[in-house]
Amino acid sequence: MKINRRHFLALGMGATAGTLLSPLPWKLTDDASIWTQNWAWTPVPETGEYLYTGGACTLCPGGCNLAVRKVGERVVKIEGQADSPVNTGDLCGVGLSAAQLLYGPSRIEGPMAREGKRGEGKWKRLTWEEAEAQLAKKLNSLSDGKGVAALSAFRSGSVSALIQRLLDTLGSDRFLTLPSLHDSLEQAMALTMGRAPGEGVGFDTENTDLILSLGSSVAEGWGSPVRMVKAAGAKKMIQVEPYLSTTASMADMWVPAKPGTEGVFALSVAAAMVQEKLYDHIFVSTATEGFPAFSAWLLENYTPKKAEAVTGVPPAMVKKVAVAFAGARRPVALCGRGKGETPVSLAEALAVFALNALKGSVQRDGGLVKVGALPYAVAVAESEAMGEKLATLTEKGKTELLLDWGTNPFYTLATSKKAAEALASIGTIVSFSPYMDETAAMADLILPDHTHLEKMQDVPVRAGLERSTVTLTQAAIAPVMDTKHTGEVLISVGAQLDGGRDAFSWDDYESYLEESCGEMWESLSENGLWQGDIAWKKGLERILGTSQRFTFVIPEGPVALPAEGSASSHPLTLVPSWSLRISSGAVADAPFTMKTIEDRVLTEGVSHVELHPSTARKAGLAQGDTATLATPFGSAKVRVTLFEGVMPGVVALAAGLGHTAFDGFIGGKGTSYTALSGTMVDSATGFNCTWGARASLAKG
Amino acid sequence: MNTESNETRAKKFGMVIDLDKCTGCGSCMVACSAENNIPVRKDESDKLLSITWIRVYRITNGKDFPDTEICYFPRPCQHCGGKHDDGHSPCVSVCPATATDYDHSTGIVSQIYTRCFGCRYCMAACPYHARYFNWWDPVWPAKLEESLSPDVSPRMRGVVEKCSFCFHRYQLARDKAYQEERDVEEMEYQTACTQACPSGAITFGDLNNPDHAVYTLKKDKRAFRLLERLHTNPKVYYLSEREWVRRAGDNYLSNEEPTGAPGAYELKGKGGH
């Protein structure tokens, strides 16, 4: 028989039909799935019942309450506490990912002393006794206590009081915190409304009907993030800034003022309100002082027409904002660029206070309000001249020993190459960080604290809430590493200091905590939260609406601070862009939060800068190009992303990236905006109020 | 007329996302990752390899400064019902291993990792890019394995994964309700992303149950679904006041006019198959 094509086809078809009828294909698919999957190292998490414990987040100043989900002795998820008045059951991505920080590769195993060169990463493990003795010995051996500076994560609170007490014992007055918007606001409040020590500034955004935000990232983490995100979704907003942020896009009106001129814009709105007689006559005439001089000064210097030269905002738009602000029932003006992590000039803060006062939006529902001092029994004395003292930190040879509790100055205060070098020249650096952050990596001695999921500690909230608030972190699980509560360490080290035995006479931190929190302790220990009265709703104020006197103050210093450098060498302006997906404070993102960062912001470890297509064209750049971004303070390799929402001439860089320490999941990714931002010192307060920097962008 | 009671009627779980409230904060992505043991990589900026069951996209209206606007699009698995809402979802139709299946009692499209052998047909079929492939076994650095939830099995190399509408949460709620001889309450079963969303942009519930918020919201005149004209019948609805956002949901050509009809927001005339 001859085999022809027909036979061949028939055979093939028969074979196919036969195979399909046999169990072979099913067996093979089954085997394929078994072969590709059955590996011994695929983890099988231990099962168990859910158990929730309370807590508080310390990863930003927001003060959110946590519900920590546990299975057995493992933390498996962080959620927001449903009945919290601060965050009502919700939480931001950074707070949610804290379980990864807890168990992650950035954790420090235990107390360590530096071996080898500074920053080399060679450590000698110590016992806690050895580590504490080393610190006490070092502190006792200092010739002059004034060389010691300490940075604390909180301005008040139990641990801060211990740090200050330690400094007092040594004879130093350099108790410092990271500067923030609230430092400027409090000084402005002292001048306009009077201020007792410990009093703060809040914004009653829950009851407001229009938010006029002068560059504040309402939707991206200003103040207490969850609270403000809710406000951004629900309230009318006018956003003033040169970059189309999420807040700007969500706002009912976006006013793209030139970078750094938000304060001048506020004054031009105030001037328009005076010009058009749109201000609250009753409030201004009955409750304020200094209005005639202030309004004359406004009309002389800040009419919408005059301000246009600075802000670039046409007078018609200023008037539109003035009409909207004056026409709203309970509007409020906010300031503090981005997340409010950088102070504004005192003059700018005063401008915003004045704008609110013109509408009568002070000390009433929906306005700018005074927040009572926290009634700590062991209180922290407020530092005088914080601005100058902070500046001293980044001057060479002025600091012998630096203690860092949760502020990571090598990232947050290193605003230029020079500043970073000055910090690195400090004699001895002691870090209490639970994570290997930039400062811990440069430290001589690390005494790692517990994370906020492993310890009990009060968290004073200073984030513009309308009433004074303290939350309490709780130990959801036993410490994962060989760490020790910094409060405990300070009590033990303090007692070992010459003359420190009486000042640190507590048995342990827990008993001290209870004493320190005073009248707040009952509520704190029971509910994990203490809140003070709403100041403006007490007594007379409730009946009269407000009893607050307000003084209009003509600011002395400049409202808009100029950027250093020349336009010829640095023709562009660098501004930061903000996101809730990127933690821009002391502690960096966790792997889960890194997941959420868009590939238009960061790819292959390189930060992208956003610029308007016309700016790019002028610089000879196209989408995706690699370029060098330079400011007078440093330079970095970046990639170009075109975005029509950036003001021409402006370059936007996402803040919070460019960590050099931590682990391979977080470190070495992108460029630190802070390191390029430099300094703009406000002469009135001494604070660095930098809002950006002059910049150049060149291909390659 | 539908005479079934809420207890016996088949459920159709779905989601309504208000894009005008979404701030793109990313809480949903993180909450989802933590809830569902999503693997992490050292370089998460490579979005072809980074796994995010819900991914928040960002679009712009394409206008020049200062008329530019942006909008964020959270995209979980759309849990498509297929053309006649009969379970012929694009992915279910092509899976040779029955690793992904349509649950007619809940409307949820499942993914059974141990059945999947990684052919990735479903990924090619899914018009929403909602499916992700594990090219490697996940590595949990340091003690991160401690934070894994026991309710969701960690995946292994060679399988596809995607959003399950937190089905394990439904199982827990259903078991509890069954024991107590009652039906699952609306708030008893909520996905992790819904729970985490700070701006309250996400609403979740049974699209068939008139008592659930999503039932009313899906009929809102701002409502639309993604790529409606593919007739995939997604169970995720989006809301926006903004015309350009609604247009972006369906790749309209510049000369096409979307209908303003409530709910479906479907193109008149030819489209789809």
Give the CATH number, domain containing residue A176: 3.40.50.740
CATH number at residue A596: 2.40.40.20
Q: CA B260 to CA B17: how far, in whole Å?
A: 19
Q: Give the C-alpha separation, B228 to B225, whole Å.
A: 6
E runs forming strands in A265-307: 288-289
- Residue A102 touches partner B, C-beta closer than 8 Å: yes
CA distance A505 to A483: 22
Q: What is the mean pLDDT of chain A?
A: 94
Task: Tell me the one-letter amino acid at B246.
Answer: R
Suggest the residue from B20, B21, B30 to mutate for an interface test with chain A (most A CBs closer than 10 A). B30
Q: Which residue is it, tokens 């601005």?
A: A387
Structural contact between residues A560 and A351, judged by C-beta atoms closer than 8 angstroms: no
Chain A residues touching residue B52 (CB < 8 angstroms)? 595-596
The torsion angles phi and psi of A489, rounded to 5 degrees, stand at -60, -45
Q: Which residue of A has its CA nearest to B158?
A: A36
Q: Could you tell me which chain B residue has the CA closest to the CA of A666?
A: B42
Residue B151, domain member (yes or no): yes
- Has residue B68 been placed in a domain? yes
Tokens at residue A416, please? 């230029």
Give the count of Cβ contacts less than 8 A between chain A and B.
243
Measured between beta carbons, which residues in chain B are less than 8 angstroms from residue A48? 150
- Are A216 and A325 within one domain? yes
Give the count of domains, chain B. 1
Do both A206 and A142 map to the same domain?
Answer: no
Shared domain check, A616 and A547? no
In order of A364, A489, A539, B100, the CA distances from A542 in angstroms are 9, 46, 6, 62
Q: Which residues does A204 contact at the CB level (< 8 Å), separation at least 6?
A: A332, A365, A366, A367, A369, A466
Q: Among B35, B141, B148, whose Cβ lies nearest the Cβ of A104?
A: B141
Structure confidence at residue A535 (pLDDT): 73
Question: Does A240 reach chain B within 8 Å, measured CB to CB?
Answer: no
Q: What is the DSSP letter of A64?
A: -
Q: Angle between the A5-21 and A24-37 helix axes, to the nearest 10 degrees? A: 60
Contact of B214 with B18, CB cutoff 8 Å: no
Let me know: does A80 contact A64? Beta carbons within 8 Å. yes
Residue B29 at interface with chain A, using a CB cutoff of 8 Å: yes
CA distance A36 to chain B (A): 6
Residues A161 and A230 in one domain: no
A160/A221 same-domain check: no
Q: For residue A202, what is the enclosing H or E element?
A: strand A200-203
Q: Is residue A405 part of a domain?
A: yes
Low-confidence ranges of chain A (pLDDT < 70): 1, 36-41, 538-547
Please tell me if residue B105 touches chain A, with a CB cutoff of 8 Å. no
**Residue A30's closest chain B neighbor by CA?**
B115
Residue B78 lies in a domain: yes
Structural domain harbouring B219? 13-248
Dist. CA A211–CA B190, nearest whole Å: 32
Eight-state DSSP code of residue A243: B
Using the beta-carbon criterion (under 8 Å), do A593 and B150 form an inter-chain contact? no
Chain B residues lying within 8 Å of A593, measured CB to CB: 26, 30
Q: Which residues of B touch A665 (CB under 8 A)?
A: 40, 42, 44, 141
On whether both A400 and A353 belong to a single domain, the answer is no
Task: Collapse the DSSP code of A372 into the 3-class scheme (helix H, G, I; strand E, B; otherwise coil) and give the result.
Answer: coil
Instruction: List beta partners, residue B16.
Output: B203, B237
Out of B37, B46, B156, name the one closest to residue A39 (CB): B156
Both A342 and A390 in one domain: the answer is no
Residue A297 buriedness (CB in 10 A; 0-12 / 13-18 / 19+): middle
Chain A residues with CB under 8 Å of B193 CB are: none
SS3 per residue for A94-144: HHHCHHHHHHCCCECCCCEEEECCCCCCEEEECCHHHHHHHHHHHHHHCCC
Contacts of A539 (CB under 8 A, 6+ apart): none
In a domain, A28, yes or no: no
CATH number at B80 reads 3.30.70.20
Of the partner residues B26, B29, B47, the one whose CB lies closest to the CB of residue A599 = B47
Among B35, B112, B116, B199, the strongest candidate for a mutation testing the A interface, having the largest count of A CBs within 10 A, is B199
| Pairwise CB contact (< 8 Å): B198 & A92 | yes
User: Which of A39, A313, A595 has the highest number of chain B CBs within 10 A, making it the mutation to test binding with B?
Assistant: A595
Q: Which of A391, A387, A344, A410 is nearest to A586 (CA)?
A: A410
Domain that holds residue A661: 572-699
Residues of B with Cβ-Cβ distance to A46 under 8 angstroms: 150
User: Which 3 state secondary structure label does DSSP give A4?
Assistant: coil
**Domain match, A366 and A415 both:** no
Say yes or no for a CB contact (<8 Å) between B46 and A603. Answer: yes
CATH number reported for the structural domain that contains residue A330 in this entry: 3.40.228.10
Chain B residue at shortest CA distance from A250: B20
Q: ipTM of the predicted structure?
A: 0.92
Are the Cβ atoms of A593 and B26 closer than 8 angstroms? yes
Q: B195 CB near a chain A CB, below 8 Å? A: yes
Q: pLDDT class for B271, splitting at 50, 70, 90?
A: very low
Mapping DSSP onto H, E and C, the string for chain B reads CCCCCCCCCCCCEEEEEECCCCCCCCHHHHHHHHHCCCCCCCCCCCCCCCCCCCEEEEEECCCCCCCCCEEEEEECCCCCCCCCCCCCCHHHHHCCCCCCCECCCCCCECCCCCCCCCCCHHHHHCCCCCCEECCCCCCCCCCHHHHCCCCCCCCCCCCEECCCCCHHHHHHHHHHHHHCCCCCCHHHCCCHHHHHCCCCCEEEEECCCCCCHHHHHCCCCCEECCCHHHCCCCCEEEECCCHHHHHHCCCCCCCCCCCCCCCCCCCCCCCCC
Distance from CA of A597 to the nearest CA of B (A): 7
- With beta carbons under 8 A apart, name residues in chain A contacting B72: 246
- Any chain B CB within 8 A of the CB of A327? no
| Cβ neighbours around A133 below 10 Å, total | 15
Is the CB of residue A213 less than 8 Å away from at least one CB of chain B? no
Alpha-carbon distance A558 to A324, whole Å?
A: 27
Gap between the Cα atoms of A168 and A265, Å rounded: 43
Chain B residue whose CA is closest to A218: B23
Residue B7 lies in a domain: no
Q: Which helix (H) or strand (E) holds A678?
A: none
User: Is A528 inside a domain boundary?
Assistant: no
Using a CB–CB cutoff of 8 Å, tell me whether A80 touches chain B.
yes
Neighbours of A381 (CB within 10 A): 13
Which chain A residues contact residue B27 at CB under 8 A? 90-93, 96, 580
The DSSP bridge partners found for residue A78 are A68
Q: Among residues 24-43 of chain A, which lie with CB inside 8 Å of chain B? A: 29, 32-33, 36-39, 41-43
B interface test, pick of A59, A87, A88, A229 with most B CB neighbours within 10 Å: A229
B175-213, pLDDT tens digit by residue?
999 999 999 999 999 999 999 999 999 999 999 999 999
In a domain, A98, yes or no: no
Handedness of CA A639, B248, B48, B45 (dihedral sign): positive
Please, which pLDDT band fits residue B7 given cuts at 50, 70 and 90? Answer: low
Query: CB-based burial of residue B114 (10 Å sphere; 0-12 exposed, 13-18 middle, 19+ buried)?
Result: middle
Is the residue at A473 inside a domain? no
The answer to whether position A105 is within a domain reads no
For residue B72, being part of any structural domain is answered with yes
The pLDDT of residue A700 is 85
Helix (H, G, I), strand (E, B) or coil at A611: strand
- Is any Cβ of chain B less than 8 angstroms from the Cβ of A74? yes
Cα A364 to Cα A357: distance, rounded to the nearest angstrom: 11
Nearest CB to B150 within list A46, A249, A592: A46
B161 in any annotated domain: yes
Scanning B139-158 for CB atoms below 8 A from A yields 140-150, 153-158
Residues of chain A in contact with residue B197, where contact means CB-CB under 8 angstroms, are 90
Q: Cα A675 from chain centroid?
A: 16
Q: Report how far residue B93's alpha carbon sits from residue A258's, in angstroms, rounded to the nearest whole number.
A: 55
A14 in a structural domain: no
Show Cβ contacts of residue A309 under 8 Å, excluding neighbours closer than 6 positions: none
A284 shares a domain with A214: yes
Distances, alpha carbon B243 to alpha carbons A77, A511, B66, B87, B250, in Å: 38, 61, 18, 31, 12
Instruction: State how far the Cα of B157 lies from the Cα of B162, in Å rounded to an integer.
Output: 14
A42 contact partners, CB below 8 Å, separation of at least 6? B137, B154, B155, B156
Contacts of A33 in chain B (CB under 8 A): 97, 99, 114-118
Mutation to test the B interface, candidates A31, A644, A666, A671, most B Cβ within 10 Å: A644
Does residue B149 lie in a domain region?
Answer: yes
| A52 contacts in chain B (CB < 8 Å) | none
Tell me whether residue A464 is in a domain.
no
The chain A residue lying nearest B153, using CA atoms, is: A44
Which residues from chain B sit within 8 angstroms of residue A647, using beta carbons?
65-66
Task: Give the tokens for residue A478.
Answer: 């036993």
Residue A515: alpha-carbon gap to chain centroid: 30
- What mean pLDDT do residues B244-266 have? 66
How many independent structural domains does chain A possess? 3
Residue B95 contacts A, CB cutoff 8 Å: no
Does B1 have pLDDT greater than 50? no
What pTM was computed for the model?
A: 0.92
Inter-chain contact B68–A580, Cβ cutoff 8 Å? Answer: no
For residue B6, being part of any structural domain is answered with no
| Tens of pLDDT, residues B34-52 | 999 999 999 999 999 999 9
CB B211 within 8 A of CB B7: no
Of A581, A644, A647, the CB nearest to B63: A644
Chain A partners of B44 at a C-beta cutoff of 8 Å? 591, 594-595, 597, 665
Nearest-angstrom CA–CA distance, A586 and A568: 35
Query: Percentage of residues in chain B with pLDDT exceeding 70?
Result: 89
Residues A303 and A360 placed together within one structural domain of the fold: yes
Q: In A312-449, where do the E strands start and end? A: 331-338, 368-371, 401-405, 428-431, 445-446
Contact B198 A76 (CB under 8 A): no
Whether residue A623 is found in the same domain as residue A652: yes
Return the closest-CA partner of residue B130 out of B72, B38, B53, B192.
B53
Does residue A341 sit in the same domain as residue A221?
A: yes
